[in-house]
Amino acid sequence: MRVVSLRGWEAHEEAVARLRSSYSAIPAGAPVRLAKRTTNLFRARAATTAPGLDVSGLDGVIAVDATARTADVQGMCTYEDLVDATLPYGLIPYVVPQLRTITLGGAVTGLGIESTSFRNGLPHESVLEMDVFTGAGDVVTCRPGPDGEHADLFDAFPNSYGSLGYATRLKIALEPVPGFVALRHVRFDDPELLAKTVAEIADSGSYDGVRVDGLDGVAFEPGEYYLTLARWTDQGGPTSDYTGRQVFYRSLQQRETDLLTMYDYLWRWDTDWFWCSGAFGAQHPAVRRLWPRRWRRSDVYMKLLGLDRRFSIADRLDRRAGRPLRERVIQDIEVPVERLPEFLAWFDEAVGMRPVWLCPCTAKRDWPTYPLEPETLYVNVGFWGTVHVGPEAVDAPRNRAIEAKVHELGGHKSLYSEAFYDPETFDELYDGANLAAVKGRYDPENRLTSLYDKAVKRR
């Protein structure tokens, strides 16, 4: 059975034509950027008057093939819209990142992760082929494998953040799912036991003889860690609703088991932006009663954060209260599972931010621009907040220390936020030589900003 969305192939081709036309209108030497209203990046960007790439009409699902379990999806399609198109057929992408407005193209070129990543890898590992709009103004179809067309671009594209081009269409594999997810929250006092258990679950696919389909966790305090074990199930019953007055992350400490619909499980972290909605008072019972449900979303909080940046609201309040200047520490890193206890202990002492998110993941094969060791289990540690450090905050001492520690432990850091590596270290970590070679082939006039300039240089 093949189901074609309202977007369809003809509309897709028209949108690609508009993209080409908008690219031609950008003056030579001007920055090439997407003309989009939402973002999940935390890197500062310099203002520009140059027109952006017209990506209107590239934000939908072209087709879903429920028999083959595949979908053709436009690059700017959000996972919220993608799931809305696939879930009625009992299918979801292999990895559905936590936030509704993350786009499929963004998750592939910028890396995404979620609780299925311990068995399915990262979002790019379920891409079967993709069309990429390159710096040469061409749309090329890339496929994997030694005989795949434009396989060099396909392989280097993950973690390239637009430096190699933009995905206009991606064909992805889907996995079947039932209607419900049964959760079990398991507490650990010892980080060594936590790491050992994560490794055992990843190896066996089960815990206490029960299948585990999704695995993530939260470290609340030293000595208080939780793993959330998710099991897909057809067995329904009373389900929890964390889009209302209840807050999902608090439930880990309050109950041992839970039941969610598949849809609510996929977006369990979005309602409160993990726990970061608390910075806006949205978790306070009185405020929550007045805060419209439709505004309890990560993209709304992102807009509020943008206002804070624009007007320096938090900094002004800190100065008025006599508090030290804040350093933003917003990062996701991966370390080998056996080094997780060491990293958490160091992080507690050096940074002291809690809670932090834990999400195991593995790479199925080598991906040069984000070279995790294939078939090696890593744990993503996500931490998002600020630390009062005083006048030296402008030099980002905590972020620089995190980079050094992750490097020491054989890990990697995602580049959606601020980075401070020198060029030599950056090239070592992200295979700069191969990236430059691929960029030279597909962007010979160097129209697109390099990855180092995007991720590290302040523009």
pLDDT band, very low/low/confident/very high, at 310 (cuts 50, 70, 90) = confident
Q: Which stretch of 84-88, 149-153, 300-304, 347-351 has the lowest confidence by average pLDDT?
A: 300-304
pLDDT digits (tens, 9 = 90+) for 197-242: 999 999 999 999 999 999 999 999 999 999 999 999 999 999 999 9
Give the torsion sign (CA, 357, 275, 331, 399): negative
Q: How far apart are CA 108 and CA 171, in angstroms?
A: 12
**Residue from 137, 82, 135 nearest 108 by CA:** 82
> Which structure tokens are listed for 249?
């992350």
The predicted model scores a pTM of 0.93
pLDDT band, very low/low/confident/very high, at 306 (cuts 50, 70, 90) = confident
Q: How far apart are CA 352 and CA 258, in angstroms?
A: 30
CA dihedral 176, 182, 185, 186 (to 10 degrees): -80
User: Which residue did the predictor score with more confidence, 212 or 4?
Assistant: 212
User: Which residue did the predictor score with more confidence, 40 or 52?
Assistant: 52
Residue 50 has a pLDDT of: 63
DSSP string over 329-361: EEEEEEEEGGGHHHHHHHHHHHT----EEEEEE
User: Which residue did the predictor score with more confidence, 323 or 367?
Assistant: 367
pLDDT mean over 162-182: 97
Give the torsion sign (CA, 402, 403, 409, 412): positive
pLDDT mean over 283-310: 88
pLDDT at 378 over 50: yes
pLDDT at 15 over 70: yes
**φ and ψ at 61, to 5 degrees?**
-100, 125
pLDDT digits (tens, 9 = 90+) for 91-144: 999 999 999 999 999 999 999 999 999 999 999 999 999 999 999 999 999 999
Other CB atoms within 10 A of residue 272 CB:
25
pLDDT mean over 374-403: 93
Percentage of the chain lying above the pLDDT 70 cut: 94
332 Cβ contact partners less than 8 Å away, ≥ 6 residues apart: 113, 380, 381, 382, 413, 414, 416, 417
pLDDT mean over 271-283: 92
pLDDT at 4 over 70: no
Give the torsion sign (CA, 295, 297, 299, 302): positive
- Percent helix, strand, coil in the chain (nearest 5)? 35, 25, 40
**Pairing mode of beta strands 61-65, 91-93:** unpaired
Residue 3 has a pLDDT of: 54
Residue-wise burial string across 227-258, b where 16 or more C-beta atoms lie within 10 A, e elsewhere:
bbbbbbbeeeeeebebbeeebbbebbeeeeeb
**φ and ψ at 16, to 5 degrees?**
-65, -35
Residues in the chain: 459
Amino acid type, 72: D
Q: How far apart are CA 174 and CA 154, in angstroms?
A: 19
Other CB atoms within 10 A of residue 14 CB:
12
With H, G, I as helix, E, B as strand and everything else as coil, classify residue 202. Answer: helix
pLDDT mean over 295-304: 89
Q: How far apart are CA 210 and CA 121, in angstroms?
A: 21
What residues does 70 pair with on adjacent strands? 65, 173
pLDDT band, very low/low/confident/very high, at 38 (cuts 50, 70, 90) = low
pLDDT mean over 452-459: 81
DSSP string over 417-452: S-----HHHHHHHTTHHHHHHHHHHH-TT--SPPHH
Other CB atoms within 10 A of residue 126 CB:
21
107 Cβ contact partners less than 8 Å away, ≥ 6 residues apart: 79, 95, 97, 123, 124
pLDDT band, very low/low/confident/very high, at 459 (cuts 50, 70, 90) = very low
Residue-wise burial string across 308-330, b where 16 or more C-beta atoms lie within 10 A, e elsewhere:
eeeeeebbeebeeeeeeebbbbb
pLDDT at 5 over 60: no
pLDDT at 316 over 80: no
Spell out the domains of the chain, with CATH numbers in brackets. Answer: 2-177 (3.30.465.10), 312-420 (3.30.70.2520)
pLDDT at 412 over 60: yes
Residue 320 has a pLDDT of: 81
